[in-house]
Amino acid sequence: MPIADSPSTSKRLLALLSLLQARRDWPAPVLARRLEVSERTVRRDIDRLRELDYTIDSTRGPDGGYRLQAGSHLPPLRFDDEQAVAIALALRTAGGLGADLDEAAERALGTLSRLMPAHLANRIANLSPVSVSPAPGGAAAAPVDPGLLVRIGEAIRAEEELRFDYASPSVTADTSDGEVGRRTEPHHLLLHSGRWYLIGYSAVREDWRIYRVDRINARSHNGRRFTPRTVPGGDPARFLSARFRGSDTEDTWACWGEATLPVPLAEVAPYLGDGTAEALDDERSRVRLGSWSWGSLAAAFSRWDAPISDVQPRELRSAFAALADRAAAAASA
The model's pLDDT over 50-92, given as tens digits with 9 standing for 90+, comes to 888 788 888 877 667 898 886 645 566 667 777 777 777 777 7
- Where does the chain hold its CATH 3.30.70 domain(s)? 255-332
CA distances in angstroms from 174 to 191, 212, 314, listed in the order given: 25, 15, 39
For the ranges 175-179, 246-250, 263-267, the lowest mean pLDDT is seen at: 175-179
What is the average per-residue pLDDT within 248-256? 75
What is the average per-residue pLDDT within 102-112? 74
**Which of 18-32, 100-114, 239-253, 282-296 tops mean pLDDT?**
282-296
> What pLDDT, on the 0 to 100 scale, is given for residue 157?
87
Q: Please determine, for residue 140, whether its predicted confidence score (pLDDT) is greater than 60.
A: no
Amino acid letter, 114: R
> What pLDDT, on the 0 to 100 scale, is given for residue 175?
41
**Residues 7-69, CATH architecture:** Orthogonal Bundle (1.10)
Q: Give the Cβ contact number of residue 274 at 10 Å.
A: 9
| Per-residue DSSP letter, 224 | -
- Where does the chain hold its CATH 1.10.10.10 domain(s)? 7-69
How is 76-145 classified by DSSP, letter by letter?
A: -----HHHHHHHHHHHHTGGGGSSS-HHHHHHHHHHHHHTS-HHHHHHHHTT-SEEEEPPPTTPPPPP--
CA distances in angstroms from 116 to 14, 99, 146, listed in the order given: 14, 27, 18
Q: Apex CA 156: angle with CA 230 and CA 221, to 5°? A: 135
| Per-residue DSSP letter, 213 | G
Q: Omega into 307 within 30° of 0, i.e. cis? A: no
> What pLDDT, on the 0 to 100 scale, is given for residue 282?
92
- What CATH fold (topology level) applies to the domain 255-332? Alpha-Beta Plaits (3.30.70)
What is the average per-residue pLDDT within 198-220? 90
Could you write out the three-class secondary structure of 158-210? Answer: HCECEEEEECCCCCCCCCCCCCCCEEEEEEEEEEECCEEEEEEEECCCCEEEE
Is this model's pTM higher than 0.75 or not?
Answer: no
| Residue 193: band (very low, low, confident or very high) from pLDDT cuts 50, 70, 90 | confident
CA distance linking residue 160 with residue 120, whole number of Å:
20
Average pLDDT, the chain: 80
